[in-house]
Chain A
Amino acid sequence: MATLKIEQDHNRFRQIVRGKVKQDLRKYISHEQLIGRKGRDLISIPVPQIDIPTFRFSPQSQGGVGQGEGESGTPIAAGEADGAGEAGNLPGEHLMEVDITLEELAQILGEELELPKIQPKGAERIQVEKDRYSAVRRTGPESLRHFKRTYKEALKRQIASGVYNHRNPVILPIREDKRYLSWKTKPRPECNALIVYMMDVSGSMGDEQKEIVRIETFWIDTWLRSQYKGLVTRYIVHDAAAKEVTEEQFYHLRESGGTMISSAYNYLNKMIDEEYDLEQWNIYGFHFSDGDNWSGGDTDKCLALLEKELLLKVNLFCYGQVESAYGSGEFYRELEEGLDSQENLVTSKIQSKEDIYASIKDFLGRGK
């Protein structure tokens, strides 16, 4: 079908929306509203309806005429949400839901935060030939016959040759009509990435802290997913001991008890050694805690583990310290002092949701 004339206007509109999202990215990043709006490839973003200003009546003082049942005083529609200038929920003043691909969102994130493209390691070394069944051929096994295409060819032929009778629309494919699915071989560089999220779930980490972690990981995921084809995400929680959990558990699990950060680092180190070939995997470690560790001795253990093992194996190791009323925040200082010179260690303090923006920039701004 010929392209529609509206395409041009539609693209221009999407460009404007993209600009809006970019402009308000800070707002979107620090709110949890986007999580849960994520599909497999698309995310639906609420954007205030883009409006051309005109002289018009203030809706609150206007009123109108309706039709239906109801006593005087019966509410028929909710009023505008509080906050002047914010888009309300009146008829005609809706928020628009605009679908954006996750890839596009990552692109916007990258542009706005000026994130450098990641140069994956192992990209040139590992070339994989991939077969995909995306082609159609005239020959092939019956089991791969493409029914729809075959039917169309037969229909076309019958109509063209005048055999088709719409009162008795029987379509009989002959050999020349048959179409079969077939494959195409495409070489593609394989680069895999492993993201390991670690979180302190000891008693001092509250819901608010976890919410921050959740939002932050959402954006980190979005970005890294746009940079790597094959992405594996794993989750480790720890208090005094570490264990691997599912994503769901990761955000909701709550333990009491002490904190030994080294347990998580040990677990990660073992996981990498046992399961992942360093030549083929780009590994990212993200650790979130409130900075409280059981003892100085354990902190020393952590530093040693990082310096001698983990930092040699991972592309990037990020430590995000989430402010909590109970945490001392010592761990951040110790890391800074002990391992300041390591270029693939990034530390960031996240006091509140507003800091997420800067923190993401800290973490991902190094292009690793």
Chain B
Amino acid sequence: MNLPKDLEDIRQEIEGYAQDYGLDFFETFFEILDFKQLNEVASFMGFPNRYPHWRFGMEYERLSKSFAYGLHRIYEMVINNDPCYAYLLQCNNYVDQKIVMAHVYGHCDFFKNNFWFSKTNRKMMDEMANHATKVRKYIDKHGYSEVENFIDVCLSIDDLIDRHSPFIERHGRKPVSTLENGEEDKTVKKIKSKDYMDEYINPEQFLQDQKRRLDEERVQRRSFPEKPEKDILLSLIETAPLENWQRDILELIREESYYFAPQGQTKIMNEGWATYWHSTIMTQRALQDCELIDYADHHSGTVATQPTRVNPYKLGLELFKDIEDRWNKGKFGKDYEECEDINEKKNWDKKLGLGREKIFEVRKIYNDVTFIDTFMTEEFCRDQKLFAYKYDAEQNAYVISDREFKKVKQQLLFSLTNFGQPLIYVKEANHENRGELYLEHRHEGIDLKIDYAKATMENIQKIWSRPVYLETAVEGRGRLLGFDGHKHTERNLGP
């Protein structure tokens, strides 16, 4: 759809600035929507068409309400697709539209160039529409509630994917024949030695250890999967007894999960990058005098902070600005790190002017975890007044627990790793040789929400049809949860 002339003029102007700054994006189409349509598209997570499901309706209800009460307003939305699609809210004034456009070009550049997006489907617009058509056909065939119930089940586990999986090159199955390399005959071999030294070079203990290791390897080869599998969805698609339509739906939901995953992995960077560019383009080029107040109002809303969570727009923006500043002044490397004079460090300026170049590089190869890990400095943490908080049972409240750099950083990184989700693996798909599914939660000091875990296991069991187990820990003690389709079991593990 073509923009009206006034907006098209603005678009060309902003696009020109973006190109001048070296942003590199897919062709971008803007569409104008009224707030109802915008809420609709936002409920569909940016797409004009999704498969039927009530949770989109729930999101719509929420968005419409908060829009009606003036609590919240969506300004910009953009889809990672080639070409990119973005939306403008009809009733916004020109300066808002300018900001949105500048912001959108930032996102588009990020989508196109950030490594973590490199494997995403760039024709997702069409793909989503195909998914919708598919699901609608299944609904016609199998009934609304049947399909809806199954989608509910799938959505319960749609985050159990391996976020690094798109980058793993998969080889075909390893050759099964063991005759060639004689693997089966492997026995403990003594290390060659003279008779009188044998006792020392091959002590009894060593031989036994060797034997145990070989035995373990043999057992492991028999277990399935051989190594714990993180892409639980894939495991289920490949091995669960599903009907074809169910397998198809599970597959499409998995595909959508992988499509959205990088946006979760780069939320801080992506929003930070877009905010960096809208503020740069606006303040250096596009802003007219009369628009200044409106711009400041809008921008300060975007980067406002709350005590209970980190605002990705703010954090990302500040970090990019900090990196730019440090590389402009040469505040990095051995000399700088080792400098102990606070004043000297503060006034450090080698006039390298490498900042812009550096942030372009950063936006290409980092994701949120590595971004924070590499570039967040103690000074930054202090300047931004970051703190860690925890739950305090006595006050039944969340309280500020620490401002120490290491702890804050660790906490922040933890909340970003695996997108803040627990790490769950398929350990065995044929547990006890009874076709039971054995999942393992890699406990990293934080317990699962047990009622949710149980409800999720019920859903997995619906797909797997045989009993499902989850190994986790509760308050420091190993715990095995089980669900067999009728009742839950729970027992402590280990000592």
Contact = CB atoms under 8 A, between A and B. Distances in A.
A73 B400 contact: yes
B406 interface: no
Interface stretch (B269-277, B320-328, B332-340, B382-390): B382-390
A1 B37 CA distance: 10
A174 interface: no
A63 interface: yes
Contacts of B402: 72
A72 B441 CA distance: 32
A313 B55 CA distance: 52
A91 B387 contact: no
Contacts of A98: 61
Contacts of A9: 43, 52-57, 60
A54 B156 contact: yes
A56 B472 CA distance: 12
B449 A56 contact: yes
Contacts of A96: 61-62
Contacts of A62: 391, 415, 446
Given A67-B305, A68-B307, A61 B446 contact: yes
Contacts of A135: none
B398 to A, nearest CB: 4
A26 to B, nearest CB: 22
Contact of A65 (B160, B399, B411, B421): B411
B449 A66 contact: no
| Most-contacted residue by chain B among A58, A67, A69 (CB, 10 A) | A67
Interface stretch (B168-176, B290-298, B453-461): B453-461
Contacts of B56: 6, 9
B311 A61 contact: no
B214 interface: no
Given A55-B441, A65-B386, A6 B310 contact: no
B293 to A, nearest CB: 25
Interface string A100-134: 00000000000000000000000000000000000
Contact of A12 (B34, B57, B309): B57
Contact of A54 (B57, B62, B159): B159
Contact of A67 (B54, B55, B306, B448): B306
Interface residues of A, number: 49
Interface string A35-78: 00000000000000010111111111111111111111111111
- Chain B interface, DSSP helix/strand/loop, else mixed: mixed
Contacts of A77: 307-308, 397-398
Contacts of B148: 12
Contacts of B424: 55
Contacts of A71: 400
B411 A64 contact: yes
B350 interface: no
Nearest to A68: B307
Contacts of A1: 34, 36
B450 interface: yes
Contact of B57 (A10, A69, A73, A91): A10
Given A4-B40, A63-B389, A74 B54 contact: no
A11 interface: yes
Interface string B46-70: 0011001111111011100100000
B412 interface: yes
Contacts of B391: 59-63, 79
Nearest to A12: B54
A165 interface: no
Contact of B308 (A13, A14, A64, A85): A64
Interface in B352-367: none
B422 A13 contact: no
Interface in B412-444: 412, 415, 420-422, 424, 441
A79 B400 contact: no
A12 B389 contact: no
A66 B306 contact: yes
Contacts of A78: 396-398
A8 interface: yes
A63 B448 contact: no
Contacts of A14: 57, 61
A340 B452 CA distance: 53
| Most-contacted residue by chain A among B37, B305, B398, B412 (CB, 10 A) | B398
Contacts of B408: 65
Contact of B52 (A4, A12, A50, A79): A12
Q: Which 8 pairs of residues, A with B, have the shortest CB-CB distance?
A: A13-B57, A9-B57, A53-B455, A63-B390, A10-B57, A79-B396, A75-B397, A76-B307
24 contacts: A5-B48, A6-B43, A9-B60, A10-B57, A13-B54, A53-B453, A54-B421, A54-B456, A56-B448, A56-B449, A57-B422, A57-B448, A63-B411, A64-B309, A65-B408, A65-B412, A66-B306, A67-B311, A67-B387, A72-B402, A73-B400, A75-B395, A76-B400, A79-B392
Interface of A: 1, 4-6, 8-14, 16, 50, 52-80, 82, 84-85, 91, 96-98
Given A12-B54, A65-B412, 5 more contacts: A55-B421, A57-B422, A61-B447, A71-B400, A77-B308
